[in-house]
């Protein structure tokens, strides 16, 4: 963290306090308030962390005004076009693009960790069949700590490494099993001759009764969806993982916390909510009614898949996703898809509407991903699990970075207390 020679001066009741300012390699300067309470006896107030950097990081950078997303400096559109998910995983985890031999070794390692402990199959069978796959994932990922004791010691770098590989490798197996269980089909074991995305499609869509050949174009589209969701700096679920980890919790518990946070409709749950919304709108002529509802302050309805805390120009992931949606629907011969037609018209009308322009609300990654996933055959309930499996590498990379950070301490926010001050207990007969 580079110190600048600039300081910020805070004056309270005539007393001045000098606060150091740090310079990032990109993005706004950061005022260091760590010693503020000790020196001035005040807290800062920032619900939702809209102006607060909770850590320093070298993994991912977003410029929300430019609509730019960089992983270790590389733009997401270049990675989506030229790289593939496991290479991006290596990049996020280790900080550089691997040489051919390094990539081969990494891919081999991940591939050889895809099976889950056989006893976990019984654990799955304890869930209701109609459980949401995210509910199953929160439980099963957390339960990995009960099955992989040999990679829960966070003080041992080798165990940390093994836990990260296990999580990245087993998450598709867990997500696919959650799906198979919900539709009453037998679990499908992973196949090590397939690549990461093709293997996931195989585990989701093959059945023992007949051969299933993975279409390479669909596998490529799946891989691109994984890549586009791989990391997104200090978003809600990643911050949840970091906060859980700050107490020294084991990696599986921390990632389960991330999965739980991701589930919400304002975060990873938006892809499911968006497709459901597009279906509810039904056809382009109903759009004005829904736009009016989204703008009405007395109506809690929001355009799902629209808006972002950081992107105030466009979401670069949404651009790639939109292009992918066209390609996949074309490949699958889905013509005149009413959901895609509604989505395109909704995007057009919303972007032309002063409300959305003034508030800088643009389509985000979730706006088009659901259309692709549905065309591939996934039910809406699987959209967020697919986001979770893709984001696992981001969570794991940020978790590892945090554990290597000498400044790491337990996350413990303060509060602006507005409740009663001290008062005496009143006996029940006197209340
Ligand atoms: N539809 C209508 N109005 C909106 C929307 C929307 N989707 N998003 C924000 N606004 C309005 C909001 O009402 C507020 O208006 P005002 O200033 O008059 O009160 C203003 O825009 C700012 O909104 P905010 O809620 O203060 O912004 P935020 O940064 O806290 O929220 C967000 C960001 C993504 C939660 C929000 O835009 C949203 O709820 N979007 C829909 C859900 C969604 O698509 N989430 C996926 C995010 S991308 C993937 C991921 O990160 O998981």
Domain at 38, CATH number: 2.20.28.60
DSSP-assigned states of every residue in 158-204: HHHHHHHHHHHHHHHHHHHHHHHHHTTPPP----TTS-HHHHHHHHH
| Residue 387: band (very low, low, confident or very high) from pLDDT cuts 50, 70, 90 | very high
More confidently predicted of 323 and 140: 140
* 138 and 229 inside one domain: yes
What residue owns the CA closest to ligand 1's atom 50? 267
* 258 and 159 inside one domain: yes
* 46 and 175 inside one domain: no
Residue 139 has pLDDT above 90, yes or no: yes
Short-list 387, 390, 384, CA closest to 132: 384
* 86 and 227 inside one domain: yes
Strand partners, 133: none
Ligand 1 atom closest to Cα of residue 307: 37
| Residue 1: band (very low, low, confident or very high) from pLDDT cuts 50, 70, 90 | low
Cα(224)–Cα(82) distance, rounded to whole angstroms?
10
What's the number of CA atoms in the CB half-sphere (13 Å) around residue 3? 4
Distance 49 CA to ligand 1 centre (A): 15
Short-list 288, 284, 230, 238, CA closest to 258: 238
Whether residue 298 lies inside any domain: the answer is yes
The strands making up 30-31's β-sheet, listed across from edge to edge, are 2-12, 15-23, 30-31
What's the number of CA atoms in the CB half-sphere (13 Å) around residue 416? 5
Short-list 417, 415, 408, 416, CA closest to 54: 408
Whether residue 79 lies inside any domain: the answer is yes
Strand partners, 7: 20
| Residue 334: band (very low, low, confident or very high) from pLDDT cuts 50, 70, 90 | confident
* 213 and 262 inside one domain: yes
Question: What pLDDT shows up at residue 110?
Answer: 97
What's the number of CA atoms in the CB half-sphere (13 Å) around residue 106? 21
Question: What pLDDT shows up at residue 174?
Answer: 98
Whether residue 78 lies inside any domain: the answer is yes
Average pLDDT, the chain: 94
Torsion angles phi and psi, residue 21, rounded to 5: -120, 130
* 81 and 193 inside one domain: yes
Ligand 1 neighbourhood includes 267 CB (under 6 angstroms): yes
State both tokens at 235: 């978003």
Radius of gyration for the alpha carbons in the chain, expressed in angstroms and rounded = 23
Residue 185 has pLDDT above 90, yes or no: yes
pTM of the model: 0.93
- Range of 332's domain? 269-376
Whether residue 262 lies inside any domain: the answer is yes
Would you please indicate which residues are annotated as catalytic (active-site) residues?
Answer: 308, 366
Question: What pLDDT shows up at residue 339?
Answer: 85
Dihedral angle, C-alpha 109, 115, 120, 122, nearest 10 °: 180
Whether residue 2 lies inside any domain: the answer is no
Q: What is the pLDDT of residues 33-68, one digit of tens each?
A: 999 999 999 999 999 999 999 999 999 999 999 999
- Beta strands 68-71 and 30-31 are unpaired
Residue of 232, 296, 307 to mutate, ligand 1, most atoms within 8 A of C-beta: 307
Give the helix ranges, DSSP H, for 55-147.
76-82, 85-94, 100-111, 120-125, 133-147
The enclosing domain of 299 has a CATH number of: 1.10.230.10
Cα(77)–Cα(68) distance, rounded to whole angstroms?
9
Q: What is the pLDDT of residues 270-291, one digit of tens each?
A: 998 999 999 999 989 999 999 9
Cα(225)–Cα(80) distance, rounded to whole angstroms?
9
Question: What pLDDT shows up at residue 181?
Answer: 95
User: Any idea how long the chain is?
Assistant: 431
Q: Residues 370-375: what's their mean pLDDT?
A: 89
What residue owns the CA closest to ligand 1's atom 41? 304
More confidently predicted of 398 and 344: 398
The tally of domains found in the chain comes to 3
Residue 4 has pLDDT above 80, yes or no: no
Residue 344 has pLDDT above 90, yes or no: no
Q: What is the pLDDT of residues 216-273, one digit of tens each?
A: 989 999 999 999 999 999 999 999 999 999 999 999 999 999 999 999 999 999 998 9
Instruction: Kindly provide the b/e burial profile for residues 104-113, where b requires at least 16 CB atoms within 10 angstroms of the residue's own CB.
Output: eebbeebbeb
Contact in structure between 268 and 384 (CB atoms under 8 Å): yes
The strands making up 60-63's β-sheet, listed across from edge to edge, are 60-63, 68-71, 74-75
Ligand 1 neighbourhood includes 350 CB (under 6 angstroms): no
Residue 211 has pLDDT above 70, yes or no: yes
Dihedral angle, C-alpha 116, 121, 123, 124, nearest 10 °: 100
CA 213 to chain centre: 29
Question: What pLDDT shows up at residue 5?
Answer: 81
Ligand 1 neighbourhood includes 370 CB (under 6 angstroms): no
């Amino acid at each position: 963290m580079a110190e600048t020679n600039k300081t910020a001066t805070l004056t309270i009741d005539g007393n001045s306090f000098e606060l150091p300012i740090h310079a990032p390699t990109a993005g706004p300067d950061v005022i260091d308030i760590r010693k503020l309470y000790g020196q001035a006896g005040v807290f800062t107030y920032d619900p939702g962390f809209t102006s607060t950097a909770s850590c320093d990081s070298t993994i991912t950078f977003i410029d929300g005004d430019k609509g730019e997303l960089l992983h270790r400096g590389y733009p997401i559109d270049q990675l989506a076009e030229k790289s593939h998910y496991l290479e991006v995983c290596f990049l996020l985890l280790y900080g550089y693009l691997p040489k051919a031999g390094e990539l081969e070794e990494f891919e081999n390692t991940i591939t050889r960790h895809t099976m889950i402990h056989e006893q976990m199959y019984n654990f799955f069978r304890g869930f209701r069949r109609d459980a949401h796959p995210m509910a199953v994932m929160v439980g099963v990922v957390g339960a990995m700590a009960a099955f992989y004791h040999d990679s829960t010691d966070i003080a041992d770098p080798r165990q940390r490494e093994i836990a990260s590989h296990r999580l990245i490798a087993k998450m598709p197996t867990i997500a696919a099993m959650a799906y198979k269980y919900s539709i009453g089909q037998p679990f499908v074991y992973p196949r090590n001759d397939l690549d990461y995305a093709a293997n996931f499609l195989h585990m989701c869509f093959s059945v023992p009764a007949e051969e299933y050949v993975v279409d390479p174009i669909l596998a490529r589209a799946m891989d691109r969806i994984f890549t586009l969701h791989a990391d997104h700096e200090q978003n809600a679920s990643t911050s949840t993982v970091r906060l859980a980890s700050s107490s020294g919790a084991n990696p599986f518990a921390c990632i389960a916390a991330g999965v739980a946070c991701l589930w919400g409709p304002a975060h990873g749950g938006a892809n499911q909510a968006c497709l459901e919304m597009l279906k509810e709108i039904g056809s382009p002529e109903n759009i004005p009614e829904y736009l009016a509802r989204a703008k009405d302050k007395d109506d809690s309805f929001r355009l799902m898949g629209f808006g972002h805390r950081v992107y105030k120009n466009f979401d670069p992931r949404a651009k790639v996703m939109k292009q992918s949606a066209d390609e996949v629907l074309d490949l699958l011969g889905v013509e005149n898809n009413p959901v895609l037609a509604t989505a395109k018209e909704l995007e057009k009308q919303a972007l032309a509407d002063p409300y959305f322009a003034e508030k800088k609300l643009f389509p985000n990654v979730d706006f088009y991903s659901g259309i692709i996933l549905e065309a591939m055959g996934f039910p809406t309930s699987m959209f967020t699990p697919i986001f979770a499996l893709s984001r696992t590498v981001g969570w794991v990379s940020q978790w590892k970075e945090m554990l290597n950070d000498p400044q790491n301490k337990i996350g413990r926010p303060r509060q602006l207390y507005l409740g009663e001050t001290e008062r005496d207990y009143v006996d029940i007969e006197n209340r």
